Structure 1
């Protein structure tokens, strides 16, 4: 997902990132004790603003495909591509086998709304072939994702060409239902560094490690989805709400505003602040 998603219309409620109809089971995690870290306090506030859900249960291979479709685009664009793909290939039995045998031109046309359709169709067919070759199809792969050792599952996913840390973590969260997994997309990367929850020059992996170390496992899933929504509505890349005054942002008391100058209205990537020091 890229920052340009901030300028798009509201996302549909049915998407991989959460929302009222985005899957998962509504829960009230843990107890009402005071948060032990600022990151946990932020996640608690986000949960109160948006939703608190326990994720898991999606089919592992379909979740992998769906997350590939969401790369470098918004859910508004990737959702129709996913629906078209499932309508064309998901009713032919094993999805992995169906996609492994798909003609790339036909698949690319089917998922065109997601953007980068030539690259994504090539990736999906390659992943499908690997799943068929190594697991015999989607059923055994799904079982591995849901019951295998989380570190092993993550390592296997990261070995697959076209699968990065965010994609692997989304599969662990939305399919495996693994606690303590906080996928880092562009929104999470920006917000965590801007707020001071991670070092200003941290890369995506360092942000993930910082948040997962500071947020209870049962709160990571909804923290991830709610932080994405907060990034769309309040903490956008170029015009964060705090530029309209502290009262405009519901999380201002938790935020270091790294890279934001309220007086001049200047907004830069937090890493640029470190580079200047």
Structure 2
């Protein structure tokens, strides 16, 4: 169970960017996906979304690609310490960064040579297209979500999860359910998304079946659920069928308690 303290107000979408308070009641859920998210609402506290600086959020998400929070957070902190001085635009600062120095700064994040190139190119893109990180922030928070998403996806090194995280954590947009490795694994394992579904198909299923105000919370809470209960190789149901709060909703696709075998859901089709 999570040690996070309960907040005074439960808001899934966030008050910034048009979010709304969400009620979490599994008994009234319309879909299995919503029932899962509502149960997560009883396990983990509902966080608010929106209000983060968009370019800083983009940088943080790029650093998190293919690595853990434990590794990427120190890289983010070191980058901010070196390149985000008072009065200096972070996009401009990264656009002008010396690549080897930036790579050394973010080395704890893994793939640091590739990520340093992406960050410099992203800084150059923001400078050329918007003029500053502040103007980019206005674009993310004020423009239509579909336009923001398509624009972000046009940038080299920015994939669907990164674009959706910027929309959620900076823009506070409802109806955005970013799909990381936990989300991708869990909803296919449960049988809510097809076993062969890629990240985009899983996102489409969830954004269709989960109310907009609950999508942001669904993303973060599913990650927490994946860390505490439904891990990649040792889900709680292997040890005890009653240990998982989603047991009655889960089809256990790729999980075989009789043999303690766990495979990717897509492998069940082979």
Query: Unmatched 5+ residue regions in structure 1?
Result: 1-10, 14-18
Q: Does 1:67 align with 2:61?
A: yes
> Which residue number corresponds to residue 89 of structure 1?
83
Query: After superposition, where does 1:100-249 map in structure 2 within 5 Å?
Result: 100-249=95-244
Cα deviation, 1:141-181, whole Å, max 9, x if unaligned, reads 00000110100000000000000000000000000100000
Q: Give the structure-2-normalised TM-score.
A: 0.91
Query: Unmatched 5+ residue regions in structure 2?
Result: 12-20
**Equivalent position to 1:269, from 247, 258, 264:** 264
Contact 2:10–2:22 at 8 Å: present in 1 too?
A: no
**CA displacement at 1:47 relative to structure 2:** 1.8
- Three-state SS of the structure 2 residue aligned to 1:53 is coil
- Three-state SS of the structure 1 residue aligned to 2:28 is coil
| Counterpart Cα distance in 2 of 1:74 and 1:227 | 16
**CA displacement at 1:20 relative to structure 2:** 5.9
Q: Does 1:98 align with 2:93?
A: yes
Contact 1:30–1:218 at 8 Å: present in 2 too?
A: no
| Counterpart Cα distance in 1 of 2:141 and 2:266 | 36
Cα deviation, 1:207-266, whole Å, max 9, x if unaligned, reads 000011000000000110010011111111111110012111111111010011111111
> Which residue number corresponds to residue 29 of structure 1?
22
Q: Does 1:53 align with 2:47?
A: yes
| Counterpart Cα distance in 1 of 2:71 and 2:224 | 16
Q: Does 1:253 align with 2:245?
A: no
Contact 2:24–2:39 at 8 Å: present in 1 too?
A: no
> Which residue number corresponds to residue 16 of structure 1?
none
| Counterpart Cα distance in 2 of 1:257 and 1:109 | 42
**CA displacement at 1:134 relative to structure 2:** 0.8
Q: Give the structure-1-normalised TM-score.
A: 0.89
Contact 1:60–1:176 at 8 Å: present in 2 too?
A: yes
Contact 1:69–1:120 at 8 Å: present in 2 too?
A: yes
Contact 2:152–2:158 at 8 Å: present in 1 too?
A: yes
Contact 1:181–1:217 at 8 Å: present in 2 too?
A: yes
Q: How many pairs align?
A: 257
